[in-house]
Amino acid sequence: MKRFIFFVYLVANVVLSSELYFIEPKDGQVVEKTFVVKFGLKDFGVAPAGYDINNTGHHHLLIDVELPDLKKPIPADSNHLHFGGGQTEALLTLSPGEHKLRLLMGNYLHIPHEKPLISKEITIIVKN
């Protein structure tokens, strides 16, 4: 029984301490039109879409949009980029100017987890 309680404690703390963040670019950074975005993830796993594995998901990059409905699949369009292959970085090209970026983890069906993993929104400036 003590082992079971300890296991539940460990699983709960892994989920509670999970964090999603940008490694790069940094908030406020000025970037070229084409730049690398690197996703950071702490205490959670990455798995391709379609693989139903506990405490894993895949990245979605939100560009210049508000958070979608967290109970439905994340839209797939030019403002909601899916990395269903389990990618942890991407080469991105954006128009010049200011852009807001945010990361959102989705489960195997592209739906945010019950306790959503959402990064802090960052602002970047793309050079002319």
Q: Do residues 107 and 84 lie in contact, with contact meaning Cβ atoms separated by under 8 Å?
A: no
What tens-digit pLDDT sequence spans the chain (128 residues)? 556 444 444 444 445 689 999 999 999 999 999 999 999 999 999 999 999 999 999 999 999 999 999 999 999 999 999 999 999 999 999 999 999 999 999 999 999 999 999 999 999 999 99
* Cis-peptide, bond into residue 25, ω within 30° of zero: yes
Q: pTM (2 decimals)?
A: 0.86
Cα–Cα distance measured from residue 113 to residue 87, given in angstroms and rounded to the nearest whole number? 18
Sequence-separated (6 or more) residues with CB below 8 Å from residue 104:
20, 59, 60, 62, 67, 68, 74, 112, 116, 117, 118, 119
In this predicted structure, what is the pLDDT of residue 1? 56
Locate 76 and state its tokens: 């797939």
Taking the domain 19-126, which CATH number applies?
A: 2.60.40.10
- The sign of the torsion formed by the CA atoms of 60, 66, 68, 69 equals positive
Sequence-separated (6 or more) residues with CB below 8 Å from residue 71:
111, 112
Longest CA span, the chain: 62
